[in-house]
Amino acid sequence: MNSVGIELCGTALRALGSGALYWPERSVLVVSDLHMGKSERIARRGGTMIPPYETRDTLARLERDIALCAPETVICLGDSLDDNVARAGLLDEECAAIAQMQERRDWIWIAGNHDPAPGDLGGRTMTELSVGPLVFRHIATPKLGEVSGHYHPKARLALRGKAVSRPCFLHDGRHLVMPAYGTYTGGLDWCSPPLDRLIRPGATAILTGRHPCALPVPRRDAA
């Protein structure tokens, strides 16, 4: 499995190169910020036209992660839709792909700030979910053992003389912030003030990609 281990409040997790999080002991797969329907929302609001394929690409990657991990539970950690009317823009084939992935497993939509969690795409909708020592919600709070999304953290660094930007997980042993899973998603610098205030000094970033790797997170005054 193309992944890096994380320990969060004594719980062993795996950060996948795709940006998903796997909890082997509980057979739980977590993804955050799918932002399905983003291209449709941009076009609807008169923005720059971009190819309308991101939802299917996002779902295809999720299908691969589900095939790899065979989870009993899937948690979508908020902002699964790009806004509260994006559901109407999903194609029948995209809805069918979601329904197929939901078969024989518990599927949980956590509400985000962009969407109230889709109520007619199968599964269950919740504002947050506690499982053992962990709490799953969209926007971070001071709770220990919290797995959250929302910020779309990205590591920005120089690699072999070139500037590199990669979505990343951020964790300090007490909190874990997920990268955005959606194909068309931007990101917040890993040293930005909101993340700097949330994640304690000495935190670790796990960069996504074909070869995920763990790096120390620089403090804002050192970045």
At 204, give phi and psi (nearest 5°). Answer: -120, 140
Distance of CA 58 to the CA centre of its chain: 11
Q: Count the neighbouring beta carbons within 10 Å of the beta carbon of residue 117.
A: 22
- pLDDT of 45 above 60: no
117-174, pLDDT tens digit by residue? 677 889 999 999 999 999 999 999 888 999 999 999 999 887 777 888 899 999 999 9
* Segments in the chain forming alpha helices (H): 38-44, 54-69, 92-102, 193-198
- Yes or no: say if 63 and 57 are a contact pair by the CB < 8 Å rule: no
* The domain over range 3-222 is classified in CATH as 3.40.50: no
Judged against a pLDDT cut of 90, whether residue 185 lies above it is answered with no
DSSP code of residue 123: S
- For tokens 């804002």, what's the residue? 220
The tokens for 94 are 């995209």
DSSP one-letter string for 191-219: TSHHHHHHSPTT-EEEE-SSS-EEEEPPP
Residues 6+ apart with CB under 8 A from 157: 163, 164, 215
Would you say residue 114 has pLDDT above 90?
A: no
- Mind listing the pLDDT tens digit for each residue in 60-105? 999 999 999 999 999 999 988 866 666 767 888 999 999 999 999 9
Domain extents in the chain: 3-222
